[in-house]
Amino acid sequence: MRMQPVVFLLFLFISNHSIGQAPKLNTYPAFQRGELLSYRVHYGLIDAGEVNIEVTSDAKKFAAGPTYHLVGQGRSTGSFDWFYKVRDRYDSYIDEETLMPQFFIRRVNEDGYIVNQDYLFNHTQKKVTVKRDGTDKSKNTANANYEIPSFTQDILSAFYFTRSMDLSQYKPGDIVSVNTFFDEEIFPLHLKIIGRETIKTKAGKIRCLKIRPVIQKGRVFKDEEDLTIWVSDDKNRIPVRLQADVLVGSIKMDLRDYRNLTHTLAVER
pLDDT at 120: 96
**Tens-digit pLDDT string for the chain (269 aa):** 444 444 444 334 333 333 445 667 777 899 999 999 999 999 888 899 999 999 999 878 887 789 999 999 999 999 989 989 999 999 999 999 999 999 999 999 999 999 999 999 999 999 999 999 988 888 888 889 999 999 999 999 999 999 998 877 788 988 888 899 988 889 888 888 999 999 998 888 999 999 988 765 555 555 556 789 999 999 999 999 999 876 677 889 999 999 999 999 999 87
pLDDT at 6: 42
Over residues 62-89, the pLDDT tens digits come to 877 899 999 999 999 999 899 899 999 9
Q: What one-character DSSP code corresponds to residue 174?
A: -
Are the C-beta atoms of 230 and 244 separated by less than 8 Å? no
Q: What one-character DSSP code corresponds to residue 99?
A: -
Cα–Cα distance measured from residue 123 to residue 137, given in angstroms and rounded to the nearest whole number: 29
Are the C-beta atoms of 236 and 5 separated by less than 8 Å? no
CB neighbours of residue 115 within 10 Å: 19
Q: Counting runs of H as helices and runs of E as strands, what totals does the chain give? A: 2, 16
Considering Cα of 105, then 93, then 49, then 8, what sign does the dihedral take?
negative
* 43-63 residues labelled b (16+ CB within 10 A) or e (exposed): beeeebbbbbbbbeeeeeeee
Q: Which backbone phi and psi does 168 adopt, to 5 degrees?
A: -65, -25
Using only C-alpha atoms, the chain has a radius of gyration, in whole angstroms, of: 18
- The number of residues in the chain equals 269
pLDDT at 217: 53
Over residues 253-269, the pLDDT tens digits come to 999 999 999 999 999 87
179: enclosing H helix or E strand: strand 175-182
Considering Cα of 189, then 237, then 118, then 8, what sign does the dihedral take?
negative
How far from the centroid of its chain's Cα atoms is residue 222's Cα?
Answer: 22
Domain boundaries, the chain: 6-268
Instruction: Write down the pTM of the prediction.
Output: 0.88
